[in-house]
Structure 1
Amino acid sequence: MDDIDNQLQSKRIVFVTVGTTSFDSLVKTVDTDQVKEELLKKGYTHLVIQMGRGSYIPKKSSGEDGSLVVDYFTFSSTIADYLKSASLVISHAGSGSIFETLRLEKPLIVVVNEDLMDNHQSELAEELAERKHLFCAHPQTLYQVIQSLELESVILYQPGDATPVAKLINRYLGFPSD
């Protein structure tokens, strides 16, 4: 039993999520030997990729040869469990994925999908990176971001209090205030 507990405690999982979209360039990038070797060097043991609607299939690995254990899936009814068990999250720039990860206080690298038109998501990711809540990358810079990753530099994100805004909206709509 102690052996199993030690194995679970020593698991360091990198969870990659693309949400409901297709973001093959991110999946291809994390599937490169270069990125996987760098994650291994950083002490991570497992790579779990949620690949969404993408068509690129990553290479699975059992890790028996001393490499990263790699697994993937397309969709899950909830990614909350994957996020909770992750030591590092690499995510597309969707606001839901970003804020759910920050709420769980997980280290986060947001990878901007440059193929999207009107990419307001990149503005959010870049602003949060500037405030040191997360790291921001593009598929072609992800390796360098992982290589220079300094998790100690992250400032925990403190969500704002939406109560004043909700009260103002309720008053405007004519609902009773508390």
Structure 2
Amino acid sequence: MIFVTTGTQKFQFDRLIKKIDELVGEKYINEKIICQSGFSTYVSQNFKSYSFMNSEKYNGYIKNCDLLITHAGVGTILEGKKYNKKILVVPRMEKFGEHVDDHQMQIAEGFYHKQLVYLCQNINNLYSDINETRDRTFSNYTFNNEKFVKSLENIIGN
């Protein structure tokens, strides 16, 4: 199962949903797709999509998917890494009205250069990027909550 998530920002991400819908409709993708579409307006014809879902359901789809396709939301990427998922990041872009700037490209490039995710830089290459993501071996992400808590305690003065 592929889980697609566009996050909860008050911007559409129709470009991603439409392209996946096309790939499913043209039989390039034959597996089950579940999508959390957020504020997107495009309605998929070929897979199940929910505007929003509770965190338990959302995290369950991340935990159980074979591939996670996501916007460049740090929380979603880290949740996927927590379960060692293969992650394809498609950053939201300002020029398509998907965000106020292109900070998601910077986030995606950072994770990509650390070999934690694969980066889709052109939506027209999504199908080949899906295959590339499946074929790659990614680095594990080391969560260090104890170090974070100690740093935070130092900042706020215990």
Shorter-chain TM band: 0.7 to 0.9
Deviation at 1:33, TM superposition (A): 3.2
Following superposition, the deviation at residue 132 of structure 1 comes to: 1.4
RMSD: 2.2
Structure 2, unaligned runs of 5 or more: none
Cα distance in structure 2, aligned partners of 1:36 and 1:88: 19
CA radius of gyration, larger in = 1
Q: 2:68 touches 2:86 (CA, 8 Å); kept in 1?
A: yes
Check conservation: 2:73, 2:104, Cα contact below 8 A: yes
Per the normalisation by structure 1, the TM-score is: 0.73
Match of 1:153 in 2: 137
Shift of 1:163: 3.3
- In structure 2, what is the equivalent of residue 24 of structure 1? 14
Identity over aligned pairs, percent? 26
Cα pair 1:29 1:35 within 8 Å, conserved: no
Equivalent residue for 2:51, pick from 53, 63, 74: 74
1:38 to 2:21 alignment: no
Closer, same or farther: CA 102–170 of 1 in aligned 2, 3 Å = same
For the 8 Å contact 1:110–1:137, the answer to whether it is kept is yes
Number of the residue aligned with 1:166: 149
Equivalent residues, number: 149
Cα 1:113–1:163, aligned 2, differ >3 Å: closer, same or farther? same
The residue identity in structure 1 corresponding to 2:124 is Q
For 1:102, the equivalent position in structure 2 comes to: 81
TM-superposed CA distance for 1:168, in Å, is 4.2
